[in-house]
Structure 1
């Protein structure tokens, strides 16, 4: 039996691994690292079905190609630079994801308006749904 369907949490974990990746990046190494973290082995094809993962992969691969491996910096400085680069990559990825979501929102608002929905219709709060008490 294969791995379960990828949830948002697993997708987030997958892109976070790529944000912090340093050194050689191959699908085998990445999928093995992910399998250790999430407890399931996914395929390259399954990963590439998710735009967020594909985008994070492309940027991590490019970053790994252009990194300076032969540096003679102190370990502390190298660690700080690695952490700084990881955070910069995460900010860039989140900015790209946010821009895609904003574009999607504009598209949905445009299409809803064309179908006769007013701004008031779009702003109406979601209905309250009482959930079971799980305690």
Structure 2
């Protein structure tokens, strides 16, 4: 058994795809590890998956969706409608990927500038100030 200490970006994307396509109502870290092995060529550990923020967010999101909705398989009334829906969703996915990429690029710029100007992580993570809406001036 090959343990995954480091996951590549391609591995992470493949694992996230596995999670979002999960059809079974029972979603566990172990089942994702098993399903990942044939795709990425290694059996990642539960800990390595849980340590990756993007995978963890996908897992939490899918788990919550399955808990609320169960496994949903929408059935279009015709193949034409199904094809249209798939085309629209693929277009939306590509758009969201581009937006996500742009946001990640912006984050890298902010991260570099924060480092360059000496900002500390705790300063960046400070909560927003609370707005007092009952204040009169």
Normalising by the smaller structure, the TM-score range is 0.5 to 0.7
Specify the alignment match of 1:8 in structure 2.
Answer: 9
Task: State whether structure 2 residue 104 is matched by structure 1 residue 106.
Answer: no
Offset, 1:83: 5.9
Aligned positions, number: 114
Task: State whether structure 2 residue 43 is matched by structure 1 residue 62.
Answer: no
Q: Does the CA-based 8 Å contact 1:16-1:90 persist in structure 2?
A: no
**Which structure's relative contact order is higher, taking Cα pairs within 8 Å and 6+ residues apart?**
1
Q: Does the CA-based 8 Å contact 1:52-1:97 persist in structure 2?
A: no
Question: Distance between the aligned counterparts of 1:23 and 1:51, measured in 2?
Answer: 23
Question: Distance between the aligned counterparts of 2:95 and 2:108, measured in 1?
Answer: 20
Task: Say which of 30, 33, 36 aligns to 1:31.
Answer: 33
Q: Compared with structure 1, are the counterparts of its residues 93 and 52 closer, same or farther at alpha carbon in structure 2 (3 Å cutoff)?
A: farther
